[in-house]
Amino acid sequence: MPDLLHQIVLLPVGLKIVCASLGIFLIHAVFRLLERTLPLHFRERDSRYRVRKAIIFVGYAVVILFVTALFEDRLGRVTFALGVAGAGVVVALQDVIASFAGWFAIEFSSLYAVGQRIQIGETKGDVLDISVLRTTLMEIGNWVSGDLYSGRIVQIPNSIVLKGQVFNYSQGFRFVWDEIKVPLTTNSDPQLARTMLLRSAKDILADYLEDAESSWKGVADNYRLEKSSLDPTVSLVVDGGCLVFTLSYIVDYANRNLMKDRLFTRIAQEIRGSGGSLIWAATSNGIAPNPETSSASTLDAYRILQR
């Protein structure tokens, strides 16, 4: 075997290039097969991902070692040539180098991990993969409302994390504060509305509050934050001739849409059962029509909406 390797090293450059091409092709085929089959032996999704990434990195390492051994007798010349052209290579590959530095920061500073929801710049999504050069996201939002997937796969250069802000929804504290606005007419009972909104929120959010408080305590201990109340709150402003109540509450970042649906469903039922003490100020612009200035057709449509 050593004699065979020595003979291969002494081959002409043309034959070495052919051997290198065949060797790289065979190594790629073997590790591609391992990448598809070996992770299937692991049940947990996170373990399968880590095994697949490990196989990819080992494959790259084997290719580098193979090419290095094949061209061992010419490495001195290559090193000299790279030294002469080093400045030009650095300039040409500055984006690649910056992306590699970004990957290093992501991995060793725990900026984010696969499976977490993040926002980089204007792009928000769930992390699908973190490679040496790019982070792959399943995009959320854009032309769809709320926190729904748009269906687009976004690849972001890792160098961006060194220049801009990175928002992580999943790290440490996976709950976020959200709010909904409930417009009512000025004929509505404001105290009854406030009580109804707080009661509805506390009933629906009861399962979240205990977990959120425990999670927030851990964050507060680690970052020396002041204790903050996580209970729902209601504030009132008068806007455009109607009472606009803002219900603020805490929710798991992955369930914002579901929670809004549950809250609005409960609030709509409460308003319908209030016996007229609470009246929606619901038109296309969220303001109740004025009986003295609005047309008959507008008032009729508004009455139909109230039923």
pLDDT of 15 reads: 72
**290: pLDDT strictly greater than 50:** no
pTM value?
Answer: 0.63
pLDDT of 273 reads: 92
Q: What's the CATH number for 175-306?
A: 3.30.70.100
**242: pLDDT strictly greater than 80:** yes
Helix (H, G, I), strand (E, B) or coil at 250: strand
Cα angle 100, 172, 254 (rounded to 5 degrees) comes to 95
Residues 7-24: pLDDT tens digits? Answer: 555 566 677 777 778 888
Residues 43-76: pLDDT tens digits? Answer: 776 677 677 777 777 887 788 787 777 766 555 5
**196: pLDDT strictly greater than 90:** yes
Lowest mean pLDDT among 81-85, 101-105, 136-140: 81-85
pLDDT of 286 reads: 44
pLDDT of 74 reads: 59
pLDDT of 305 reads: 40
pLDDT of 27 reads: 84
Residues 89-135: pLDDT tens digits? Answer: 555 567 778 888 888 888 888 888 888 999 998 899 999 988 888 99
Return the domain boundaries, the chain: 2-92, 98-168, 175-306
Lowest mean pLDDT among 73-87, 178-192, 206-220: 73-87
The phi, psi pair for 35, rounded to 5°, reads -65, -30
pLDDT of 221 reads: 67
Q: CA 288 → CA 190, 268, 275, distances in Å? A: 16, 16, 18
Q: What's the CATH number for 98-168?
A: 2.30.30.60
- Residue type, position 120, single letter: I
Spatial CA neighbour of 100 closest among 72, 122, 133: 133
Average pLDDT, the chain: 78
pLDDT of 190 reads: 92
**79: pLDDT strictly greater than 80:** no
**211: pLDDT strictly greater than 70:** yes
Cα torsion 23, 24, 28, 29: sign: negative
